[in-house]
């Protein structure tokens, strides 16, 4: 069960290292759980593009005699994977209280968000050098290729991507921790500048500094702690292994198609039982293709589905209720995991979903090449 959630200040927070953020997040999560650092006997860490986090975090925290210690990395799928590993450790008795933490600090004062994420395109030789010479700089063009493939095959439009951006900004307006809370319209989306056609500025996620940690422990221990426990009901991973390779499914099918049904099956629930959905949204297109792969609509029907009015605070699908990575904050896979915990606890304030017993969470890494799914539940959802 997840019994603790620790979130540092998020966004344009400077003069702190990723290790500082990580230690702060773990301490906050432990306090939130009503525990002491000495109770933690497992620690799983993950770092972003700036690195700076490793198993050395144990020394920074001053915790001794850990029974589980590891650094994990599957990019945006890592957060859900850490929760899976922690749950397995707790279930097996390998550890009893496991902290999972991600932190990063790519933003710098006076530097654009786009420049915060570096690229290997300047390499003089090798594959990355060839990509740079062709104009493929960073991940934006690669996701643009995936989106364009979907558009060519199914007739998906940039306006349909825009409906996702507008809906999530609507949720962010209700989230006091969101970086972007000013409402936007479809016209605003369509007039935002191109980043890598067909992706516009408002199709792309934010860049944020900060750290988030969660605490996983046993059901027996959770019963005496102050926070409503969040049950880890199901999980699954899928890693297609087609990164930067020609493949007939690129941009059409992702690892979500395998991981989603598997996690739901493990949890013993159907898609129709899901109350809240927190999807990894590095781009609007990622949301659209994941909705298809999870089965919320048919393959190729994602565009009309998201444009139908189903999203946003007034829609029936409670999707990315904190604003997601597009408008809330970007802490890789911890963004959807954290909001899922908040919703399952019933602590979302103005953005809280009325029904929140079953929460479906996705993590995406690489260029649609790594996927992890969690199914979380409130006490009612687990019964």
Looking at the annotation, which residues are catalytic?
Answer: 280, 330
**Burial letters 52-71, b for 16+ CB under 10 A, else e:** bbeeebeeebebeebebbee
Closest by CA position to 23, among listed 51, 71, 55, 57: 57
The per-type count for the chain, helices as H runs and strands as E runs, is 14, 12
Q: In sequence order, what are the beta bridge partners of 215?
A: 4, 99
Closest by CA position to 157, among listed 292, 296, 299, 302: 302
- Kindly give, in sequence order, each residue whose CB lies less than 8 Å from that of residue 363, ignoring residues fewer than 6 positions away: 74, 76, 77, 78, 79, 80, 81, 280, 332, 333, 336, 337, 370, 371, 372, 373, 374
DSSP string, 332-374: TBHHHHHHHHHHHHT--GGG--S--SEEEEEEEETTTTEEEEE
């Amino acid at each position: 069960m997840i019994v603790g959630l620790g979130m540092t200040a998020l966004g344009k927070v400077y003069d702190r290292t990723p290790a500082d953020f990580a230690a702060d997040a773990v301490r906050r999560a432990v306090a939130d759980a009503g525990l002491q650092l000495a109770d933690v006997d497992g620690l799983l860490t993950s770092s972003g593009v700036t690195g700076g986090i490793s198993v050395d975090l144990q020394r920074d925290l001053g915790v001794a005699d850990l029974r589980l210690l590891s650094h994990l990395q599957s990019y945006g799928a890592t957060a859900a994977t850490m929760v899976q590993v922690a749950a397995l450790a707790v279930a097996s008795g390998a550890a009893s209280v496991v902290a999972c933490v991600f932190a990063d600090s790519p933003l710098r004062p006076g530097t654009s968000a786009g420049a915060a994420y570096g690229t290997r395109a300047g390499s003089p030789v090798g594959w990355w050098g060839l990509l740079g010479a062709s104009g493929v700089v960073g991940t934006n063009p690669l996701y643009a290729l995936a989106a364009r493939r979907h558009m060519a095959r199914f007739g998906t439009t940039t306006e349909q991507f825009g409906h996702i951006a507008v809906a999530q900004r609507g949720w962010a307006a209700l989230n006091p921790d969101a970086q972007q809370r000013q409402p936007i319209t479809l016209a605003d989306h369509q007039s935002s500048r191109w980043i890598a056609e067909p992706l516009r500025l408002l199709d792309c996620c934010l860049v944020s500094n900060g750290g988030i940690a969660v605490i996983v422990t046993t059901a027996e221990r959770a019963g005496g702690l102050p926070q409503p426990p969040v049950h880890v009901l199901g999980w699954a991973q899928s890693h297609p292994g087609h990164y930067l390779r020609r493949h007939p499914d690129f941009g059409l099918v992702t690892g979500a198609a395998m991981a989603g049904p598997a996690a739901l099956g493990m949890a013993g629930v159907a898609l129709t039982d899901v109350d809240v959905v927190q999807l990894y949204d590095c781009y609007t297109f990622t949301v659209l293709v994941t909705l298809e792969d999870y089965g919320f609509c048919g393959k190729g029907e994602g565009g009309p589905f998201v444009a139908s009015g189903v999203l946003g605070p007034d829609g029936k699908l409670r999707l990315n209720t904190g604003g997601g990575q597009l408008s809330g904050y970007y802490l890789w896979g911890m963004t959807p995991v954290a909001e899922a915990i908040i919703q399952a606890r019933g602590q979302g304030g103005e953005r809280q979903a009325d029904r929140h017993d079953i929460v479906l969470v996705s993590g995406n890494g690489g260029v649609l090449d790594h996927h992890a799914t969690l199914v979380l539940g409130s006490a009612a959802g687990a019964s």
